Amino acid sequence: MKQFDVVIAGGAMAGMTLALAINKLSSQPLSVAVIEPFQVDHQAHPGFDSRSIALSYGTVEILKRLELWQEIAKVATAIEHIHVSDRSHAGMTDIRTQEVGVDALGYVVELADVGRIYHQQVQLDADITVLHAAVELVQRSESKVTIELSDGESIEGKLLVAADGAISTCCQQLGMELSEHDFEQVAVIANITTQVPHQGRAFERFTEQGPLALLPMSQGRMSLVWCLTPERAKQIIAESDEQFLSELQSAFGWRLGKLHQTGQRASYPLLLRYRKQNISHRFAIVGNAAQTLHPIAGQGFNLGIRDVATLAECIAGASQDPGSYHTLKQFKVARSEDRDATIAMTSALVHIFSNDYLSLRIGRNLGLFSMDNLPLLKTPLLRRTLGLVAR
């Protein structure tokens, strides 16, 4: 039976970042296994139909420290200006690189590009083994975790990390309780082109149904995340490209001129999924397996990377046993405040900005106006948006 120091279930962004981070920080090499059922797609990714994520300034600083940013930077588009507004109302605020004193407020990357970069880096790391299988069974003893795989193989590790998504097989195997709240919204995503170049601008616009975000991408494209009621999303998905762009134009406005072209649309329901316990005996949880957030303010992935960085630091600081109680307790305590605060903030923003009640409409417009004119109000939210939070 193959034995590893750390076994990571899930080879997407959180899992691969952790796998690469551990030995960037450790003074002596640790053997790492990544269990990932899906092969990395080597085909060219269709430009209009690839998913994108926004990396906060804080996340980029973490990736730099882990020596992972240099290659990703080549395929990243800088966010230099964020414009936040409320549809049909006066409230708005702007955040610019000049007032924050940074080169970029964040960056937008396509997942397919990062996947290819990580795949290449993992292949060059002799201490990382990728196993193309699924987790079938997890069993724990005092000093190790045994994982049975779908290909019939079994492996052992001192620590198992669940990075296998919101519906985590590992968490289900070990009975880790999952809390769930349905926001009763669906995110419609697509890539579009605009008449006016984005010039590094990102937009978040609040509508009576939910937030609409446009993020700058390479080749003049923009990544759309449009949060709607389930019924409205179903209609939008079924519409022709022309009708879809017309409705999007009406909701977003004309700050980027005419919206020209859209790629294939996709959608997914928006839920808060949260596991209060992010550790158990020889077991830790990171990324979407620990918490899946509403996309408002783009917090979810960046919170997950802070999970990953902290766990990698705790593992690197452990003397011989990365799965020891002391190591995992240290990880849990370090992540508690940030997790709770970020989840509370995103859920509150959804409540405040996803309806058209008169009292909340007045309140949020006063809030946006105040943020734009009173730096003391703007700074705390801005720091969390930029990912400048204590770990």
- Report if residue 148 sits inside a domain: yes
Q: Which amino acid is at 162?
A: A
- pLDDT score, position 210: 80
- pLDDT score, position 320: 84
Residue burial 337-362, b: 16+ Cβ < 10 Å; e: rest: ebbeebbebbbebbebbbeeeeeebe
- pLDDT score, position 48: 35
What does the pLDDT look like over 86-144, one tens digit per residue?
765 444 578 888 877 889 999 999 988 898 899 999 999 999 999 999 999 999 999 99
Q: Which amino acid is at 195?
A: Q
- Tally of domains within the chain: 1
- Report if residue 35 sits inside a domain: yes
Residue 19 to residue 27: CA distance in whole angstroms? 15
- pLDDT score, position 61: 95
Q: Which two tokens stand for residue 300?
A: 């979810």
- pLDDT score, position 340: 94
- Asked if residue 122 lies in contact with residue 19, where contact means CB atoms within 8 angstroms, the answer is yes
Q: pTM of the full predicted structure?
A: 0.89
Ranges of the chain with pLDDT below 70? 40-50, 87-92, 352-385
- Report if residue 373 sits inside a domain: no
- Report if residue 92 sits inside a domain: no
Residue-number span of the structural domain to which 35 is assigned = 2-44+112-179+272-349
- pLDDT score, position 97: 86
CB-side neighbour CA atoms (13 Å) of 351:
9
- Report if residue 301 sits inside a domain: yes
Q: How many helices (H) and strands (E) does the chain have?
A: 12, 20
- Report if residue 124 sits inside a domain: yes
Q: Which two tokens stand for residue 242?
A: 């022309």
Mean of the per-residue pLDDT values for the chain?
87
CATH code at position 165: 3.50.50.60
- Report if residue 129 sits inside a domain: yes
- Specify the pairing of strand 81-86 against strand 201-206: parallel
- Report if residue 333 sits inside a domain: yes
